[in-house]
Amino acid sequence: MLIDPARETGQLTLLTNAMVREVTTDAEGRATGVSYIDTRTRSEQKVQADIVILAASACESARLLLNSTSNQHPNGLANSSGVVGRYLMDSTGTTVAGILPQLMNDPDHNCDGVGGMHVYIPWWLHDQHDRLGFPRGYHFEIWGGRGMPGYGIMNNIHTYNDAFAGPDERPKGGGGYGPQLKEDYRRFYGSVVGLSGRGEMVAREDNYCEIDPDTVDQYGIPTLRFNVNWSDAELQQVRHMQETGREILRSMDAHVFGDMPTEEQDYGITMPGEIIHEAGTTRMGDDPRSSVLNSYCQAHDVDNLFVTDAGPLVSMPHKNPTWTIMALAMRASDYIIDQRNKGTL
């Protein structure tokens, strides 16, 4: 999105297929550039820089910092606080879906448009946390419609085609074959509606990624391992998603798929990382002892080093984090320009 305008300045050199190994530093511990491997030739390369800005995604930027060890930064670059990799967050998630009989046997029509069912439900109970039993909020993304028939279409129809059965005689339960089944596929096509809840995870120090001392990737760069668990805050939130989503579907006379996930099933919550919204691994803050970056995404320990992905996020938006990333990156960019003009960076 922003690469083209940057190129138009004539000031941009773009290096692709460059897997960065570490941020290089000088004797004083300031950043001097990066070393990388050209993935086409597997040759080692270096780039010199006055300022280094990492935006490799939250976990990869943390990995780079943790892999950039030196005498000045034995625990990894910009990590005197020990916080790099910690406070790792993802969005919470769970999904409820069912068949809406009102949508069965619809006339052919084009359901392409502005996302799922043209409906989105933002968080609505922000003033009722006293009774909810969990902090923070979530939203529902609604999906369904007469999507392009593809691989896996109406998979496992035998688990639901006894719902809203037609006039034909058939054995107990779902399943079947032949003309009856073919007609069922037509009847149910486009009738499934799903509600996918996505919510805010609470940042906690003991959720973290770290360098796995035993493993390297194909370029010989040490990889990450993860220690992340949901807390009761997330589990109770997802329980609320499940109960609410089921209530919404049932109120529309839907045949809801599956039973309410139990406490033992963690209420059907996704695995940490599954929603692909990693954030918080290089959190910002005013106190260098408990944060990696200042409010301009500038490393407390290394003044010419910045991180502008989701790593700086201190808390998780329940929406997708991209716009927050962009806003913080723009703020950091303005700050860098300002400091350069003042000659202080």
Partner 1 sequence: MADMERRDALKLLGLMAATSTFSFACTAEETSTGSAAATPPDGTTRPTADYTKQFFTDHEMRTVRVMADLVIPADDRSGSASDARVPEFIDHVMTDELLGDPQPRQTAMRGGLAWVDYQCLQRFDALFADCSEAQQKELLDDIAWPDAAPDGMEAGVEFFNSFRNLVASGFFSSKMGVDDLGYIGNTYVSEWTGCPDDVRAT
295 in contact with partner 1 (CB under 8 A):
no
159 part of the interface to partner 1, by CB under 8 A:
yes
Can you give the three-state secondary structure of the chain, one letter per residue?
CCHHHHHHCCCCCCCCCEEEEEEEECCCCCEEEEEEEECCCCEEEEEECCCEEECCCHHHHHHHHHHCCCCCCCCCCCCCCCCCCECCECCEEEEEEEECHHHCCCCCCCCCCCCCCCCEECCCCCCCHHHHCCCCCEEEEEEECCCCCCCCCCCCHHHCCCCCCCCCCCCCCCCCCCHHHHHHHHHHCCCEEEEEEEECCCCCCCCEEEEEEEEECCCCCEEEEEECCCCHHHHHHHHHHHHHHHHHHHHCCCEECCCCCCCCCHHHCCCCCCCCCCECCCCECCCCCCCCECCCCEECCCCCEEECCCCCCCCCCCCCCHHHHHHHHHHHHHHHHHHHHHCCC
Q: Which is nearer to partner 1, 141 or 200 (CB)?
A: 141
Question: Contacting partner 1 (CB under 8 A), which of 129, 165, 173, 217?
Answer: 173
Residue 108 C-beta: closest distance to partner 1, Å: 3
Q: List binders of partner 1 among 99-158 (CB under 8 A).
A: 105-113, 115-116, 141, 143, 146-158
306 near partner 1 (CB under 8 A): no
| Candidate segments 25-33, 71-79, 171-179, 308-316, binder of partner 1 by CB under 8 A | 171-179
Q: Does 257 bind partner 1 (CB under 8 A)?
A: yes
**237 contributes a contact to partner 1 by CB under 8 A:** no
226 binds partner 1 (CB under 8 A): no
User: Between residues 196 and 291, which has the closer beta carbon with respect to partner 1?
Assistant: 196
Which residues are near partner 1 by CB under 8 A?
95, 97, 105-113, 115-116, 141, 143, 146-160, 162, 170-179, 181-182, 185-186, 189, 194, 196, 257-258, 268, 270-271, 274-275
